[in-house]
Amino acid sequence: MEEKVNSLEELLKDSPTNWGRWGKDDEVGALNFLDRQEVLRGIKAVRQGKVFTLQVIIGSDKGDPVWPGRTSAIRINVNDKGYYLAGKNKPLYGGLEYADDIIIMFLQGTTQIDALGHTWYGDRIWNGYNAIETIGGLNKASVLPIAQRGIVGHGILIDVAWCKGVESLSAGEEITLNDLLSCAKKEGIEIQKHDILLIRTGWIAQFFKKGPAEFYKNFLEPGLTYRKELVEWFYKMEIPVLGTDTIANERTTHPETGIVLPLHAALMRNLGVIFNEILWLEDLAEDCRKDNQWDFLYVGAPLKINKATGAPINPVVIK
């Protein structure tokens, strides 16, 4: 009986993997699908010259939407006009003055790209590297190779919230493969092989509307979750990148087993799918609903941070 499954090993024992597919040294996984032809396919989607940026704001008056346990970024001025007024700093020769600041933040504390080595089970991370490699910084499958390559391709928005006629999916609401396909149909598009898949739930916007107290109460994110056919579809369609306006890109737990974040295991760790989380899709979605163009060029590159488990990104979408 399925409800007796209590481990990822068991749940995913027949699940497909791409380990070794791009050699034993690979660290970028499904990004390999985005070759020069795919870049040019993305370019063709640009017809209007419209630009959208998909990062949430760091430092809103409500703080930052982050996974429970992480905290909002702290940005602090270390120089500004006040320092000159108080005689703490002198203008540069000629009179130039400047403001300067530092930040302290979780690298996954805003819109970000997960390194393929960010999560694992069974002591092996993406491509079979030993989880020991994560200690003190990711020796293997860090975010750096992804950041050096960049992510450019043909993207589509599946506005599930709109397709379901709601402002936001509700806590724990599942998105099925059928939801995706029928929503694409409603939008008048067909999901193609190698498409960068952005899924809108309306969820992250609730953080900014309702504030953190309400947002985190009984925290259970909506989204995709582990289903055999869904994972096989990702495998067959060779989806390189999955992005969602939720913190974790998937339902917090698998409904039947309670297993936490099974798609991080099945898609990221096993298939090498790149996760782009905490996206801001409100403005893009509104525009797509107006002009009925749901596909675009997606261009993004997380910060190049050596050994990092993930890195912030402000993705750019061009229609």
Question: Under rule CB under 8 A, which residues in 298-317 are in contact with a copy of itself?
Answer: 299-310, 312-316
Cα atoms in the Cβ-side hemisphere of radius 13 Å centred on 89: 15
What CA–CA distance (Å, rounded) separates 157 from 201?
A: 11
Stretch 263-282: interaction string toward a copy of itself, x if CB under 8 A: -xx-----------------
Assign residue 46 a region (left: φ > 0; alpha: ψ between -120 and 50; beta: otherwise).
Answer: beta
Residue 240: CB minimum distance to a copy of itself, A? 13
Residue 47: CB minimum distance to a copy of itself, A? 9
| Residue 240 within binding range of a copy of itself, rule CB under 8 A | no
Cβ atoms of 71 and 80 closer than 8 Å: no
Stretch that binds a copy of itself, among 13-21, 22-30, 76-84, 194-202 (CB under 8 A): 76-84
- Tokens (6 digits) for 138: 């990711």
Stretch 145-164: interaction string toward a copy of itself, x if CB under 8 A: --xxxx-x------------
| Dihedral (Cα; 118, 121, 125, 127), 10-degree rounding | -130
Stretch that binds a copy of itself, among 134-142, 162-170, 180-188, 196-204 (CB under 8 A): 134-142
Of 126 and 160, nearer to a copy of itself (C-beta) is: 126
- Tokens (6 digits) for 308: 């990092």
Radius of gyration of the chain (CA): 21
| Residue 74 within binding range of a copy of itself, rule CB under 8 A | yes
Stretch that binds a copy of itself, among 65-73, 161-169, 195-203, 238-246 (CB under 8 A): 65-73
- Tokens (6 digits) for 245: 């306006």
| Residue 167 within binding range of a copy of itself, rule CB under 8 A | no
What CA–CA distance (Å, rounded) separates 202 from 208?
A: 11
Of 17 and 55, nearer to a copy of itself (C-beta) is: 55
Residue 31: CB minimum distance to a copy of itself, A? 11
Assign residue 166 a region (left: φ > 0; alpha: ψ between -120 and 50; beta: otherwise).
Answer: beta
Of 80 and 232, nearer to a copy of itself (C-beta) is: 80
| 1-6 CB contacts, 8 Å cutoff, 24+ apart | 2/256, 2/257, 3/256, 3/257, 5/256, 5/257, 5/259, 6/257, 6/258, 6/259
Of 183 and 308, nearer to a copy of itself (C-beta) is: 308
Give the count of residues interacting with a copy of itself (CB under 8 A): 113
Residue 113: CB minimum distance to a copy of itself, A? 10
Burial class (CB in 10 A: 0-12, 13-18, 19+), 20: exposed
Stretch 4-33: interaction string toward a copy of itself, x if CB under 8 A: --xxxx-x----------------------
- Tokens (6 digits) for 28: 């970028």
Residue 170: CB minimum distance to a copy of itself, A? 22
Q: Are strands 274-277 and 112-114 parallel, antiparallel or unpaired?
A: antiparallel
Residue 166: CB minimum distance to a copy of itself, A? 26
Question: Under rule CB under 8 A, which residues in 96-125 are in contact with a copy of itself?
Answer: 96-108, 110, 117-123
Of 50 and 227, nearer to a copy of itself (C-beta) is: 50
Of 34 and 156, nearer to a copy of itself (C-beta) is: 34
Stretch that binds a copy of itself, among 13-21, 47-55, 192-200, 203-211 (CB under 8 A): 47-55
Q: Are strands 196-200 and 241-244 parallel, antiparallel or unpaired?
A: parallel
